[in-house]
Amino acid sequence: MKEHIKDKFIYEGKAKKLYTLKGKTNKILQEFKDDATAFNALKKGTIQNKGVINNNLTAYIFKHLEKHGIKTHFVEKVSDTEMIVKRLKIIMIEVIVRNIAAGSLLKKTNLKEAQVLKNPIVEFYYKDDALGDPLINDSHAIAMKLANQKELNYLRKAALKINSLLIPFFKKRGLKLVDFKLEFGKDSKGKILLGDEITPDTCRLWDAKTNEKMDKDVFRFDLGNVNDTYANVKERIMI
């Protein structure tokens, strides 16, 4: 671990805190919290050890993606709950990839829960808590100047490539990747990198044999002991 000094607090979100690093302008520190929220923060709680688990899982998964040619913000893990990342100007679009019908897709389509999709669905949501993160299309994103067409095409392509890497990654670990959310941003040179996190907060993961839910849905819908679920997912993934 290299020397680093946590400097100024930048932002506290629902799951993480961001800090500047002394003497560095292009890198920041991302600290993962135990706080859990759902339904646009209407439901609040904590999940035991979530900060440690999600920091470790994100580091592990981002390293795997980097190894397979995905450009990400990840630099290095520096403590149980903290990692250094490249500072990005976040593109305010949540990119969702779906392999199996679940969650909000069931309210928008005639698809039934657990129906396997022949082709993955990629969706864009406007990252805006006040508007409740609405589903948008390319024209909406361009009208709001969130990204241009070329960038939207890139986000879609990158999200599908990440999906094709993560499906076998999770399968090997006894988990089905039902759907997940990605955030991208631009680095100091304007290059688009994968940012944020990949964790049971941002993925739907089902047990490969039983379809048991092993992600934040356990917290959302009180399906069981969510502390055990997160600990179990970490054990399965970090092999």
Ligand X SMILES: Nc1ncnc2c1ncn2[C@@H]1O[C@H](COP(=O)(O)OP(=O)(O)O)[C@@H](O)[C@H]1O
- Residue 183 binds to ligand X (criterion: CB under 6 A): yes
> Which of 5, 8, 9, 13 is the binder for ligand X (CB under 6 A)?
13
Q: Can you tell me the distance from the alpha carbon of 74 to that of 53, in angstroms, rounded to the nearest whole number? A: 16
Candidates 123, 121, 124, 103; CA nearest to 112 is 103
> Which of 65, 85, 102, 158 is the binder for ligand X (CB under 6 A)?
85
- Residue 15 binds to ligand X (criterion: CB under 6 A): yes
For residue 191, the cross-strand partners are: none
By C-beta, is 198 or 205 nearer to ligand X? 198
> Which of 123, 133, 196, 215 is the binder for ligand X (CB under 6 A)?
196
User: From start to end of 91-186, where are the E strands?
Assistant: 93-100, 116-126, 135-136, 175-186
Taking the complex as a whole, the smallest distance from the CB of residue 229 to ligand X amounts, in Å, to 20
- The answer to whether the Cα torsion of 64, 68, 74, 78 is positive or negative is positive
Q: Can you tell me the distance from the alpha carbon of 100 to that of 118, in angstroms, rounded to the nearest whole number? A: 9
Taking the complex as a whole, the smallest distance from the CB of residue 18 to ligand X amounts, in Å, to 5
- Within a 10 A sphere around the Cβ of 7, how many other Cβ atoms? 14
By C-beta, is 30 or 176 nearer to ligand X? 30
- Residue 133 binds to ligand X (criterion: CB under 6 A): no
Positions that interact with ligand X (CB under 6 A): 11, 13-16, 18, 28, 73, 85-88, 90, 183, 185, 195-196
